[in-house]
Structure formats: structure tokens, C-alpha cells
Amino acid sequence: MVQQLGHLPMGWLMLALLAMLASGAFFVGRVQAARFSGPGSARVHSRPNYHGYYVAMWTFVPAMVVALGYGLFGDGLVRSMLSSELPANFQDMPRVELDVYLNSIARAAFHHGYSGADRVFSAITNRFLELQGLIKASTIVLALVCAATGFLLARRRVAPGFRARNRVEGGIEIFLFLCAAIAIATTIGIVASLLYESLRFFAEIPFWDFLFGTRWNAQTSAEFGALPLFFGTFMIALIAMLIAAPVGLFAAIYLSEYAGPKVRGWVKPILEILAGIPTVVYGFFALLVVAPAIRSVAIWINTTLISTGLASEPLLAAQPTSALAAGLVMGIMVIPFVSSLSDDVINAVPQTLRDAAYAMGATKSETVKHVVLPAALPGIIASLLLAVSRAIGETMIVVMAAGQRARISADPTADLTTITVQIVALLTGETEFDSPKTLSAFALGLVLFVVTLFFNLIALRVVQKYREKYD
């Protein structure tokens, strides 16, 4: 019987239960309030509907909390209960193996996937289902009890003078606040998970070895010196900015100072298309077009140098994937990030400043260079910082076009690897938690997060200050 309960589809069940409870409670509250708020009675504070909402709120929320608790922790609870009951030889298993075993138990229990003759296995499966049933049944009972308590308490307050609307609105406001707080929860989740896994990593690998080690070989041998990754990230971001900064800035200047409204109306949206293209498409472009082109140019340079006697051996690495290919394409991707924010800040420079310069006989370019750009400088710097942060955190282009080899090389046609490439490499495919290999991905993630956060915070600060100045 308890085992049968283990098969209950809790998601749908709880959803239906909550909907029924809430609508029932609403109806009761409304009817009760309707009795004293007829057309003749003027001294009622809230309309019957609000009394209904009030009762429904107090019925729904406690039950919902129980349901959420089950959804988040129910499965884990069952597993930990089960594993504590397991015989001793299971207790000694490494956690990863135990998890895999429990996964197969769960699959066998719910999907009839594996029905082996292993007696221990089927016994554990049965016990698993029993525990599931127990937890599910008690969740439902608990939800009902909480709902009933809430319902009864709320119903007692329904009275002509009761300010049901204010209470309901207060409840909604709390709900709205919780929605806004999810942003904070996300940040906390990011920081907590990165820190937690990183600390486990640094328990095994010394922090300074990670930060300043020059040998990275996480996949095969356990070498976790991340300096080559930092170098690769820096190098590619640098190449990207060398392209995006002048192009984006000059495009913004041209659009805001020189172009007529018609040109502006066409070019601006087209530039924004560049920002809307998924990065994986850029990656494919880098792989398909740019990397081979750069490679053949590099080979041509090599052979020309050798044939003219300027070099005795190939000067450039001319790899099929290269830092230059990734950086170039990333630069194209980042152009709109520079141009659109720069365009905004340049437009925010008051026209009176331009007029002042023109009135003194400055030419357009002198006005831009000496007056507009200095005035817009903080905003432009912010846009560049945001673009750098974007370039550092960009993943797909480098995964597809930068390469996997961790090394420090100033040759732009050599393949380099970056933080993001390694995170992807470490966490795709067969991954087991708890190994330093997997954990190192989180340590890299932490570095990435901290660095980009640093850039973002400064940039956002500067932009805010700038807005305050000219608004």
C-alpha cells in the first residue's frame, strides 16, 4: 500500500490540490462576505471578492510552502533516509558510486527500466518506493493540515469592518518583493556555489599554485596552473578590443555627429543585428571562414619570409584554430556593445557644448575630439569596460575557434585556450562531481565571475554617475 503511494505523480497532484483548495477557500470567503455586504449595507470596508482572496491566500500559501519544500528536498530526504538504512558495505562506497546506484534504483522504481534478478537490488527498490510513499503521503497530509489551519484562521476574521483588501494587497506586495528578491537569490546562489566548490578544490590544490602555476593539464594529469588560461583569455580579449574599440567608437562618433537621420536610421539597427546574432553562429563563422583564412595568410607569410631569406624557419605557428581568429570574430561581436552605449553617451553630451565650440570656429572633428569626447569620456570608458567583460566571459567563439592547448605564446596565429574553454571542456562529457578536475572548473568560474564583476561594477558606477551629471 505504502509502495503504491510511492508512485503518486506529486507534481500534478499538488497542483490540482492547491488549485482546488484555493478556489474552494475563495468561494467560502466570498459567500460569507456577501452575506453582510448587500446593496444596502454601506459600512463594509472591502468588497466580497477581497474577502474571498484573503481566505484563499491563507489557504494556498501554507500548502504551497509545503509543496515547495517537498519539491526541493523531498527526493534528497528519501535518498538520505534510504542510504542510512543500507547495509554496511554500501556505507563504505564512495559518494559518487552511491549516487549512481541510487539513480539506478530510482529508475528501476519509476520507469521499470531495470528489473534484474538481483535480490538486494529489488529489496532496496521496494524500500525506496516505501519511503517515497511515506514522504509523499505525509507531504499531502501536512499540506492539507496547513491549508486547513490557514483557512480556519482566515475565515474567522471575515467581518464587515475587516480590511481584507489591504491584507490581500499586502500579501501581493510581499509576493512581488519575493519575485524581485530572486535576483539576489541568484547572485547568492552563484557566489555560494562557486565559492563552495572552489574551496573544496583549493583544499586539494594550493591557491597560489592554481593562480600562478604555468602548467595546465587538467584532463590527463592533475596539473592546475591556470596562468596560461589567464594569458589566453587576456590575449584574445585584447585582440577583440583592438578591433571593437576603434571600430565601435568611430562608428558611434560617425552615427551621432556626422550621419544624417536617414543613414542613422538604417545603420544603427544593422549594427544591432551584430549583437543579436547568437555567439555560436559567430563561432561557426570563425571556424569556417576566419580561421582557415588566417591560417593561409600565416602560411603565406612564413613561406615568403623563408623564400626571401628573412627567416630560416616558419615564424608563425599557423594553427588551424588561432587566437587571432577567435579574437577577430569576438571583436566583430563586441562592436555593437561599444558603439551603442558610446552612441548613447555621445548623444547625451549637451548641444550647448558643441555650439560653444562651433561658435569659436572649431571644425567638426575638433569639436568632437576636444569637446564631445572628453565630455563623454566616462561613458565611453564604461562601454569599453562592459565590452571587455563581455569578451572575457564569451564562451562559444573561443570554444570553437581558439583551441585547447594551454600555453603562453605571443604568436597570434598559435592556438591558445581560455578560462571559458576549459570550463566547458571540464564539465562536458562524462563528469563526476568531487574530482579536482570538475572542481577546478568552478575555481575558474570564480575567477571569471570576480573579474567580470569588477569590470561591470566600475562600468555601471561610471555610467550612473555620468547619467546623474547630464540628466
Partner 1 sequence: MTDVAPAPFRNEKALRRLKKRRAADARFRLYGLSAIAFALLALSVLVASIGFQAISAATYHKVGFDVVLDPAVIAPKGKDTPADISRNVDGFYALIRSNLQGTFPEAAEDRMATRQLGDLVTRLAVLPTAKWVSENPTQIGQAATIKVPLSDDLDLYLKGAVSKEFRLRLGDISAVTEAAPRQVRLTGDGAFKALQSLIAVQRQEVGDAVDARSILISAGSTTGRIMSLDADAAEVTLLTGSATDFSNVRPTARMIELPETERNVSDLQIAWTLALKDKGRVSRVPHTSLLTHTDSTYPELAGALAAIVGSLLTMMVTAFIAIPIGIFASVYLEEFAPRNRLTEIIEVNINNLAAVPSIVFGLLGAAVFLGFFGLPRSAPLVGGLVLALLTLPTIIIASRAALKSVPPSIRAAALAVGASKMQSVFHHVLPVAGPGIFTGAILGMARALGETAPLLLIGMVAFVADVPVGPTDEATALPVLIYSWSTNAERAWEPMTAAVIVILLMFLITMNGIVVLLRRRFERRW
Partner 2 sequence: METTMTESRDVSAAGITMDETQGLTFPRIECKNIDVFYGDKQAIFDISLPIPDRSVTALIGPSGCGKSTFLRCLNRMNDTIESCKVTGEIIMDGENINDPDIDPVLLRSRVGMVFQKPNPFPKSIYDNIAYGPRIHGLAASREDLDAIVEKSLRRAGLWDEVKDRLTSPGNSLSGGQQQRLCIARAIAVRPEVILMDEPCSALDPVATARIEELIDELRKRYCIVIVTHSMQQAARVSQRTAFFHLGELVEMGETDQIFTNPRERRTEDYITGRFG
Interacting residues with partner 2 (CB under 8 A): 260-261, 350, 352-363, 366, 370-371, 374-375
Q: Which CB sits closer to partner 1, 297 or 305? A: 297
Reported as half-sphere exposure (CB side, CA atoms, 13 A), residue 450 has a value of 10
Sign of CA dihedral 178, 181, 182, 188: negative
Q: Which CB sits closer to partner 2, 75 or 257? A: 257
Q: Answer with the entry of partner 2, partner 1, none that 288 interacts with (C-beta below 5 to 8 A by kind).
A: partner 1
CB of 246 to partner 2, least distance (A): 23
CB of 463 to partner 2, least distance (A): 17
- Taking residue 364's Cβ as centre, other Cβ atoms within 10 Å add up to 13
Q: Which CB sits closer to partner 1, 151 or 389? A: 389
CB of 78 to partner 1, least distance (A): 10
**Beta strand pairing call for 216-217 and 223-224:** antiparallel
Q: Which CB sits closer to partner 1, 151 or 338? A: 338
Angle among Cα 101, 103, 104 to the nearest 5 degrees reads 70
Q: Answer with the entry of partner 2, partner 1, none that 371 interacts with (C-beta below 5 to 8 A by kind).
A: partner 2
Looking at the DSSP bridge assignments, the partners of residue 224 are: 216
CB of 374 to partner 2, least distance (A): 6
H/E stretch holding 273: helix 261-276
Angular region, 280: left φ>0, alpha ψ -120 to 50, beta rest = alpha
CB of 387 to partner 2, least distance (A): 23
Q: Answer with the entry of partner 1, partner 2, none that 239 interacts with (C-beta below 5 to 8 A by kind).
A: none
Q: Answer with the entry of partner 1, partner 2, none that 254 interacts with (C-beta below 5 to 8 A by kind).
A: partner 1
Q: Answer with the entry of partner 2, partner 1, none that 356 interacts with (C-beta below 5 to 8 A by kind).
A: partner 2
Q: Answer with the entry of partner 1, partner 2, none that 87 interacts with (C-beta below 5 to 8 A by kind).
A: none
Q: Which CB sits closer to partner 1, 5 or 247? A: 247
Q: Answer with the entry of partner 1, partner 2, none that 353 interacts with (C-beta below 5 to 8 A by kind).
A: partner 2
Cα–Cα distance measured from residue 401 to residue 421, given in angstroms and rounded to the nearest whole number: 10
124 and 105 Cβ atoms separated by less than 8 Å: yes
Q: Answer with the entry of partner 1, partner 2, none that 355 interacts with (C-beta below 5 to 8 A by kind).
A: partner 2
CB of 259 to partner 2, least distance (A): 11
Return the axis-axis angle of helices 261-276 and 323-348, rounded to nearest 10°: 140
Q: Answer with the entry of partner 1, partner 2, none that 217 interacts with (C-beta below 5 to 8 A by kind).
A: none
Using alpha carbons, select from 416, 426, 437 the residue that is nearest to residue 229. 416
Cα–Cα distance measured from residue 88 to residue 81, given in angstroms and rounded to the nearest whole number: 14
Q: Which CB sits closer to partner 1, 256 or 411? A: 256
Q: Which CB sits closer to partner 1, 165 or 215? A: 165
143 and 14 Cβ atoms separated by less than 8 Å: yes
Using alpha carbons, select from 285, 390, 296 the residue that is nearest to residue 335. 390
Q: Which CB sits closer to partner 2, 28 or 375? A: 375
446 and 199 Cβ atoms separated by less than 8 Å: no
CB of 437 to partner 2, least distance (A): 53
Q: Which CB sits closer to partner 2, 301 or 362? A: 362
How many angstroms from the chain centroid is the CA of residue 40? 56
Per-residue b or e along 319-347, where b marks 16 or more CB atoms closer than 10 Å to that residue's CB:
bebbbbbbbbbbbbbbbbbbbbbbbbbbe
CB of 311 to partner 1, least distance (A): 25
CB of 113 to partner 1, least distance (A): 13
